[in-house]
Structure 1
Amino acid sequence: MYEYRKLTPEEKAQLVKQRLSRGYPPHSPPHTVRDRPFYLLTAACYEHKCHLNSESRRQLLLDMLFEKFIANDVEILAWVILPNHYHLLVHIVNFDVLGNLFRSIHGVTSRQWNLEENLRQRKVWYRYSDRAIRSQTHYYNSLNYIHYNCVKHGWVQSPYDWVHSSVHWYFQEYGRQWLRDCWVQYSVQDYGNGWDEYE
């Protein structure tokens, strides 16, 4: 979204034409892979503003995500909720439920937060994106990426210092050594580069 704004009108037209020729929507993130069991899902606040600026808002969002996703047979396997975006690692049976789930959750939270701040029709959320998990390596790289995201963005010095993260659940279930071994074996260095090499 932010790179698009920097383009000239000619560059924007060319980019939209290219996207349409590949069967993608003109501006939305394409959801091209819809038949995998595991996905990394990301949703961000519009223009990355920190609307999730309190622990209570982050907890409300997390509670809603679990409630709505479980009710639609989507299992959340890892998560991190930050002040301006969040990541989920999920197991899903029917990919097609995601759009409605995000619209429902983001609609309710937008309305509530705008009422709290006495604002009308402020855009709170941007579209969600998904990345199909392609292998075991990709799965555990994504898990580590989620747990390290709060450090990457400078909110804390250690993943263990961020409350709204599944790192605490993994610590309780598997222990610190398991998390360390996972971190060493599945590095997040240059995470995102060479996505298609994870097959």
Structure 2
Amino acid sequence: MYNWRKMTDEQRKSLLELRKSQKTPWHSPPHIQGERNRFHITAACYEHSSIIGKSCERMNEFESELLNTLELSTINIYAWVLLPNHYHVLVKTDDARKTLKALFQLHGRTSYRWNGEDKLRGRKTWYNALEHGIKSDSHFHATINYILHNPIKHSYVQHWQDWPFSNAKQYLDAIGKTEALRRWKEYDISKMGAWDV
């Protein structure tokens, strides 16, 4: 996400020229267009600062707002997790642009409110939201595993169901621990998430 800062001036210039010529966003990957309707969407606070996680109350409020936003802009929410500095969701939508627009509006509202609460007007709160189209059923199940495993990856808890800001408990209740363990073993996540540091 932050490779821009590591580039030389010449590399930056070359990348910007390429993105301009392709009519893609200058400072982020292009948003997906096409036939896919299941997406892994992730968004992070700027420089991974724990702005969402300033307090448990803020986490609870944002969880509610995020889920309400997704319920209004998607067909189904398969998996989600909220951490102090980022979130991941796996959704089905008939219009990814509409879903992203709704999330960007949520980011704008929360950024304004939190910056006021924190007396930090002008602070950059969110970095972006990026979507990855789901390519196959295997990719779909691996993405669920990745999302629900995220609090463990970041050393917040030792078990999925111990993290209060995800749908891990509902997922485990729906399919059972035996099936969840089978899916964990079958759908590898070891090559996922290099961007999620």
Amino acid at match of 1:105: L
Per the alignment, do residues 161 and 73 of structure 1 end up closer, same or farther by CA in structure 2, a change over 3 Å counting? closer
Pairs within 5 Å for 1:1-199: 1-53=1-53, 54-191=55-192
Amino acid at match of 2:179: W
CA shift, 1:155, in A, is 1.9
SS at structure 2 position matched to 1:69? helix
SS at structure 2 position matched to 1:164? coil
Per the alignment, do residues 74 and 44 of structure 1 end up closer, same or farther by CA in structure 2, a change over 3 Å counting? farther
Q: Structure 1 unaligned runs (5+)?
A: 194-199
Across the aligned residues of Structure 1 and Structure 2, the Cα RMSD in angstroms comes to 1.7
Amino acid at match of 2:99: L
SS at structure 1 position matched to 2:132? strand
Say which is worse superposed, 53-62 or 171-180, in terms of deviation.
53-62
Residues 4 and 12 in structure 2, CA contact (< 8 A), matched pair in contact too: yes
Residues 69 and 103 in structure 2, CA contact (< 8 A), matched pair in contact too: no
Identity rate, percent: 36
Distance in 1 of aligned mates of 2:144 and 2:81:
10
Residues 33 and 132 in structure 1, CA contact (< 8 A), matched pair in contact too: no
Structure 2 counterpart of 1:196: none
Per the alignment, do residues 3 and 40 of structure 1 end up closer, same or farther by CA in structure 2, a change over 3 Å counting? same
SS at structure 2 position matched to 1:86? strand
Distance in 1 of aligned mates of 2:115 and 2:193:
33
CA shift, 1:129, in A, is 0.2
CA shift, 1:55, in A, is 2.6
Distance in 1 of aligned mates of 2:134 and 2:26:
24
* TM-score of the two chains, using structure 2 as the length reference: 0.90
SS at structure 2 position matched to 1:97? helix
Amino acid at match of 1:145: Y
CA shift, 1:192, in A, is 5.3
Distance in 1 of aligned mates of 2:69 and 2:167:
18
* TM-score of the two chains, using structure 1 as the length reference: 0.90
CA shift, 1:6, in A, is 1.4
SS at structure 1 position matched to 2:77? strand
Amino acid at match of 2:7: L
SS at structure 2 position matched to 1:134? coil
Detail structure 1 runs of 4+ shifted over 6 Å in the superposition. Answer: none
User: How many residues of Structure 1 are paired with residues of Structure 2 in the alignment?
Assistant: 193
CA displacement 1:42-88 (0-9 Å, x = unmatched): 00001110012233222212211221222234421100101110000
Distance in 2 of aligned mates of 1:73 and 1:7:
37
